[in-house]
A and B are shown apart, each in its own frame.
Chain A
Amino acid sequence: MTATPQYFELPANLTAKKFIARLSKKVDLHIASQQYSIKTFYDSFDWRLYNAEKICEFTHSQQLSQLSLIDKNSGHIIASEELEQLPRFSQQFPEGLFRQNIAPELEMRALLPLCQLPFEIYRLNIFNKDQKTVLRVQIDEYESLNNRVQLIPLKGYEKAHLKVVNILHNILEISPSNCTVLNQALKQQGRKPKDYSSKLAIKLKPDMRGDKASKLIYKHLLQAMQVNEAGTIADTDTEFLHDFRVAVRRTRAGLSQIKNTLPAKVVAEYADFFAWLGQITGPTRDLDVYLLSYQHYKATLPLSLRADIEPLYAFLKLKQVHAQKELSKKLKSPKYNKQLVAWEQYLNESLAKKGKAGHANQSIKAIADSRIWKVYQRVLKEGNAITEQSPAEALHDLRKTCKKLRYLMEFFQNLYAQEDIKRSIKALKGFQTVLGDFQDYEIQELSIKQFSEEMMQQNTSSNTLLAMGVLVQYLDSMKCNARNHFAEQFELFVQAENKATFKRLFTNKA
């Protein structure tokens, strides 16, 4: 088997042929093949493979189309697959090592092309005196990047490998490359890896004016909407819409929670616009969630009912297609475009020397401290008021308050000691899970019930309705489960240590 390859970057003026000519003076080499190929790098929009230290490249030539998953750090090929065309989702790949290695990272995200490089591949074999190949060499001659040499050592012939490394180093003065072709190709496009993440990292300064900091936060969120817009309209994968909606929701939370930093008239106008955006994106997202949960739903059913639930998938898919079509139409509408452009223009307008809104001139740190502390107090109050007899609405209200708190903490996180704020966000996140589950299971239970009524009108088989009934029962039991865990999770969240951290962070008191 072959060992891990080693990569070298040739100087700008050194062509493959010149390199071969120089190397052939030092070793017995044979050109095994030369072919024109196109290399395309793939990843999800949010760089899931790269984040997992993997690079996916598809090399296409007349003879061969090969997909390789490469360890970013060592260059070692983790898995490769001969494929004519690339499927978009991991579950569409043939079963095997490649799929096993991408599925856990990609989950529901589509594999999308990042950049494409035409190049000429030269494959050389280095021989010993018995004409046995002791080292393989591949030269990739790019049209737009420096050429690359890859030494592929062969097991048991380590000396031959070292000899050639020495020749490259000492005689041809070529050093190992420490930058991947992907990084260089992206650089040419003015991009860099991980240039998108749904996580917020807004660089605020504590003494920044309230209105300026607010605009900066909204600009970040607007950008998140804009970069996810095309994928949402095209329904490339479900997460474009998800991230789009998160940015909308965060903007709404900002407008309502970062109070009095922008003029009330502006806030009122755009609060309406973003509420509308939240509303028009809701139905598609809900259906996406049902479709993403479908396999899980199916697995919860007794074996004898699993096949019976299948019409539900077709029903949901049809609904999703309709909802998506409506959504695309609205996201291409003049209303949407006009308002979004106006919002962007407003955010880019330079600020007056003195802001008009009440807290516009206050430091953002003071605003953040006060807002987070206030909302945190509200969470405690609402949480403490919940008893076993409290209605579901009380939990839903608390869930919404927690969400506001979470968004505020995320907007302002770089104003605080990183370790403390991260720990506090994590504690809140843990608590939010139980509230989220309670709400999600309740809504899903109601929706499945409603779908079954609609499907009954369409003469769906009684077995399918029976299976859906069992599913409703499962969702109900999960909802009750979440409700039963509420007290325990709330206790965890309000434990003394967390309380002390919140106090230290947001009131500056120990």
Chain B
Amino acid sequence: MTIIASYNIKGGVGKTSTAVNLAYLAAQHNYKTLIWDLDPQGASSYYFRVKPKVKGGSKDLIAGTRELDGLIKATDFENLDLLPADFSFRNLDLVLDERKKPTRRLKKLLAPLNKEYDIIFLDCPPNISLLSEAVFEASELLLSPIIPTTLSMRTLEQLKKYIKDNKLKHIQLLPFFSMADRRKKMHREIIDTLAEKHPDILQSIIPYASDIERMGLERMPLNAYINKSRSVEAYQSLWQEILTVLK
């Protein structure tokens, strides 16, 4: 079982679209896949038409009163399940803080799902918090979408520093450009310069595209309503890059 977090300190960079579309592609490739919507806004849950409601809320969940398996919902797609968000997840930090070894909590909760799933995607809320520390502890890959802007680049550097300072050696950071608009000169320039400066940035670039925005209307992963487009190809290429890392 591989745990992959879709994470960025910044909001609105395409974390949810990344988690949703990659989870869909993983499932299509016969990987038994789970996506855990950790964001209280519940965007992943919304995309899969699943009610953002978890029995017992964040308290029971983190306490382990209920097994995660009993809270999971099947999506409309083969091999793909979802652990929905709940509004109480806004307090996840506080709930975690009440536990012993809070940063190890997610990893412990996910361990029993080892047999059932090949890949688990964590769709994370922004910010660096106790929850994100727990996410880092649990994950092997940290997928980080970055918009090609100077500010986004600063957050990437912050994240790298955080990983280095906290000696999170087990985690592999995989940054990639997201919501890239080739028409914007600044985006083009940043992509070109940064690819040289940061060779660890993945090759695939997710474009800023209206078909991705339509996910909110269609309420399903991109590939489920469009067979072929630049965005579809971009996610497929990103998935292939991740597969190479996994192998």
Write the residues of chain A forming the contact surface with B, with a CB cutoff of 8 angstroms. Answer: 1-2, 125, 130-133, 154-157
Contact = CB atoms under 8 A, between A and B. Distances in A.
Nearest to A156: B73
A132 B79 contact: no
A130 B72 CA distance: 18
Nearest to A128: B49
A326 to B, nearest CB: 48
Given A2-B78, A157-B73, 11 more contacts: A1-B32, A1-B74, A1-B116, A2-B74, A125-B76, A132-B48, A132-B76, A155-B74, A155-B81, A156-B73, A157-B74
Contact of A1 (B49, B50, B81): B81
Contacts of B81: 1, 155-156
Interface in B44-87: 48-51, 71-74, 76, 78-79, 81
Contacts of A1: 32, 74, 79, 81, 116
Interface of B: 32, 48-51, 71-74, 76, 78-79, 81, 116, 219
A155 B50 CA distance: 12
Sorted from nearest, which 4 A-B pairs have the closest CB atoms?
Answer: A156-B73, A132-B49, A154-B74, A155-B74
B32 A155 contact: no
Contacts of A131: 49, 219
Contacts, number: 32
B76 A133 contact: yes
Nearest to A155: B74
5 contacts: A2-B74, A132-B76, A154-B73, A155-B73, A157-B74
A299 to B, nearest CB: 30
Contacts of A2: 74, 78
Nearest to A152: B74
Contacts of B50: 132, 156
A130 B51 CA distance: 9
Contacts of B51: 130
A133 B78 CA distance: 12
A104 B17 CA distance: 44
A401 B76 CA distance: 66
A208 to B, nearest CB: 56
A155 B49 contact: no
* Most A CB within 10 A of own CB, among B50, B71, B76: B76
A131 B219 CA distance: 10
A28 to B, nearest CB: 13
B103 to A, nearest CB: 28
B116 to A, nearest CB: 7
A41 B79 CA distance: 26
A157 B49 CA distance: 13
Nearest to A132: B49
Contact of B72 (A125, A133, A155): A155
Nearest to B78: A2
B37 to A, nearest CB: 13
Contacts of A132: 48-50, 76
A156 B73 CA distance: 4
Given A1-B32, A132-B48, A132-B49, A156 B72 contact: yes
Nearest to A125: B76
Contacts of B73: 154-157
A161 to B, nearest CB: 11
A80 B195 CA distance: 43
Contacts of B71: 156
A124 to B, nearest CB: 13
Contacts of A154: 73-74
